[in-house]
Amino acid sequence: MKNKKHLYVLISILMIVVLSGCAQVNAPIDAESTGFWNEYFVYPLSLVITFFADQFSGSYGLAIVVVTIIVRLFLVPLNVKQVRSTMAMQNIQPEIKALQQKYTSKDQETQQKLQQETMALFQKHGVNPLAGCLPIFIQMPIFIALYHAIMRTEAIKTGSFLWFELGSTDPILPILAGGATFFQQKLMMADNPQSNNPQMKMMLYMMPIMITVFAFFFPAALALYWVVGNIFMVAQTLFIRRPMLKKQKEQESLSK
């Protein structure tokens, strides 16, 4: 099962690489852009950003904020499904560990029995161990397309918002982007029983550092997108994820 999860992660990484390579980031996006990726993902999002900019007197910065929030709201049901899948897996962890202790031998026959009983356990509780990966596959193309739309819409490069120029780098936004990423991951880890895992602890610090460094070299428009997206995820964790986990704990305490 772990191998399958690793395979899904690898496929996700390959998807990012492939989709990012489907179009040149520096090539402007417009009605003349060809290719499935451009026509059905990037250009429609570029049109949406331009539409909202027109509604806000040409403010592409405000348009990026609004479109980012709309996209995140659209993906909330998927994130809720992912949380429920994670919670379901956590609920049966004691039974999974019991099976692993029962079948400790590494020979093929024993491992086959372990796999069969583990799958039977999943079916009994109606748990799909790979369900948590599905939202990643759906979200990733949308996020990459939004990234391309922001980077390749020419009008954004000449716009300004608050104190910064959208087409230029900014010294403050990267710090805000990194800080929002750290806070969002910190909240997520606080609710995760495996938060002491060394790999998770490493990601807690690595991701904000990477976002901060990248944001120093990318246009401020992209850094703005990261800031808004992570602030939204913080709110989602506080108002959706945590209440769900709290309700689950209350139900577990009542059933004991």
Q: Tell me the C-alpha distance between 132 and 118, whole Å.
A: 17
Question: Which pLDDT score is estimated for 122?
Answer: 79
Q: How crowded is residue 63: how many other Cβ atoms within 10 Å of its Cβ? A: 26
CA distance 192 to 87: 10
- Give the start-to-end residue ranges of the domains of the chain: 1-90+127-157, 93-126, 159-256
Q: Is 170 left (phi over 0), alpha (psi -120 to 50) or beta?
A: beta
pLDDT at 10: 47
pLDDT at position 85 is: 73
Distance CA 68, CA 98 (A): 44
Q: Give residue 26's pLDDT band: very low, low, confident or very high (50, 70, 90).
A: low
pLDDT at residue 1 tops 70 = no
Where residue 115 falls among pLDDT bands split at 50, 70, 90? confident
Question: Would you state the pLDDT for residue 193?
Answer: 55
Q: Kindly state the average pLDDT of the residues 236-245.
A: 76
pLDDT at 252: 58
pLDDT at residue number 19: 46
Q: Looking at residue 69, what is its pLDDT?
A: 92
- Partners of 161 in the beta sheet? 164
Q: What is residue 184's predicted lDDT score, i.e. its pLDDT? A: 79
CA atoms within 13 A on the CB side of 53: 20
